[in-house]
Amino acid sequence: MNSVAAPGLTGSGEQKHSSAQTRFNRQELAQILAVYGRKVAAGEWRDYAIDMGRDTAVFSIFRKTSECPLLRIEKNPKLARKQGAYSVIAATGLILKRGHDLRRVLDVLERRVAVVR
């Protein structure tokens, strides 16, 4: 009898790491976690999640663990030559900032929003 393994699985049942998967590198994560740490210390954010897919890597930020994400920081290499690989997206889907340099894109999270009355 022939044994056929599922695609992407080795004989031991572990998944092979696909080189096509989009990921944040160490420097990118350090920049994101520096901003995240300051916001946690200020009491604004509480939790995060990282999702790495074929086309995008997403760092989601939560105010509470059980809520929908407040913000998403996305890396999409397919947009690197166009609008920039990095973007910060609000919960409503509004793109707050997009660009080629992650540090400059993350600056939108550092600014204080003034409430106009």
Confirm whether 41 is domain-assigned. yes
Calculate what percentage of the chain has a pLDDT beyond 90. Answer: 45
Confirm whether 5 is domain-assigned. no
Range of the domain at 45: 26-110
Which pLDDT tens digit goes with each residue over 30-59? 999 999 999 999 888 889 999 999 999 999
Confirm whether 81 is domain-assigned. yes
Closest of 75, 84, 81 to residue 54, by C-alpha = 75
More confident residue, 8 or 79: 79
Confirm whether 21 is domain-assigned. no
pTM of the model: 0.74
Counting Cα atoms < 13 Å in the Cβ hemisphere of 85 gives 17
Confirm whether 73 is domain-assigned. yes
Confirm whether 4 is domain-assigned. no
Confirm whether 93 is domain-assigned. yes
Confirm whether 80 is domain-assigned. yes
- Give the pLDDT confidence score for residue 30 in this predicted structure: 94
Domain count, the chain: 1
